[in-house]
């Protein structure tokens, strides 16, 4: 029973941040029930906890298992969150943030942010990210023992995790940079036009022209973003 509770704590931390579970429309009772079911399924392959653990070590292991589960899910969720933030930056540059959408899972969001969030989830499922992440989660019981009471036994190369985080943030900046550069160039051109012809209203022209040009740039750059996005998902799994 103590082993099952420790496994359940790690699964609960994992499902709290995992992209398939932390949606606002996902009922909390269903999430807890699924976490318990997953814990029961994987409990036979996890080494049992010793029966002589004192209360202090048990509750300490309980908290560390929650953090360990959240860490596994964090590496997956980081890539999806960065691409969503890149969509928000594009919305700000193209003026699409004036249109606010409501999504049951994300709350108030913008057009491209919602698009890239959906794109990221579809690509995550397409490359088998769900199965690979679950395998990584099971592998975490070997890399971080169930009854560990400190992180010194965590057999993960943290430099590799930091390097992955750097690559993910760079990916978000590079993904949004074509839109930033194009809109900057358009602002310069429209500014020069307004100086040459005072009757031209650059604001009204840019408001109608930027979204069209932005969508064309996104269509052209999306295949390159897809390839890099898949690379980062697979690299996050390789940490384990």
**Per-residue pLDDT reduced to its tens digit, 11-60:** 888 888 877 665 666 777 888 888 888 888 888 887 776 666 677 777 88
**Rounded distance, CA 39 to CA 41, Å?**
5
Contact status, residue 55 vs residue 141, Cβ threshold 8 Å: no
Q: Is 107 left (phi over 0), alpha (psi -120 to 50) or beta?
A: left
Q: What is the pLDDT of residue 25?
A: 66
Tell me: pLDDT of 208 over 80: no
Mean pLDDT of 99-111: 67
**Rounded distance, CA 68 to CA 2, Å?**
17
Say what percent of the chain tops pLDDT 90. 0
Other Cβ atoms less than 10 A from the Cβ of 106: the count is: 17
Structure tokens at 164: 């992955």
């Amino acid at each position: 029973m103590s082993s099952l509770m420790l496994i359940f704590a790690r699964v609960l931390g994992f499902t709290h941040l995992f992209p398939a579970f932390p949606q606002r429309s996902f009922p909390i009772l269903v999430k807890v029930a699924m976490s318990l079911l997953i814990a029961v399924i994987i409990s036979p392959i996890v080494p049992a906890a010793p029966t002589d653990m004192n209360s202090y070590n048990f509750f300490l292991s309980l908290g560390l298992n929650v953090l360990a589960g959240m860490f596994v899910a964090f590496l997956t969720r980081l890539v999806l969150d960065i691409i969503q933030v890149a969509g928000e930056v594009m919305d700000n540059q193209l003026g699409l943030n004036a249109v606010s959408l409501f999504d049951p899972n994300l709350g108030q969001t913008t057009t491209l942010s919602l698009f890239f969030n959906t794109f990221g989830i579809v690509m995550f499922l397409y490359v088998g990210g769900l199965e690979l992440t679950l395998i990584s989660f099971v592998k975490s019981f070997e890399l971080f023992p169930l009854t560990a009471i400190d992180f010194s036994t965590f057999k993960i190369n943290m430099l590799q995790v930091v390097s992955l985080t750097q690559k993910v943030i760079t990916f978000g900046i590079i993904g949004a940079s074509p839109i930033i550069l194009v809109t900057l160039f358009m602002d310069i051109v429209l500014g020069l036009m307004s100086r040459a012809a005072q009757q031209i209203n650059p604001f009204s022209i840019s408001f109608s022209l930027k979204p069209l040009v932005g969508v064309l740039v996104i269509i052209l750059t999306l295949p390159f973003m897809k390839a890099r996005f898949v690379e980062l998902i697979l690299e996050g799994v390789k940490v384990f």
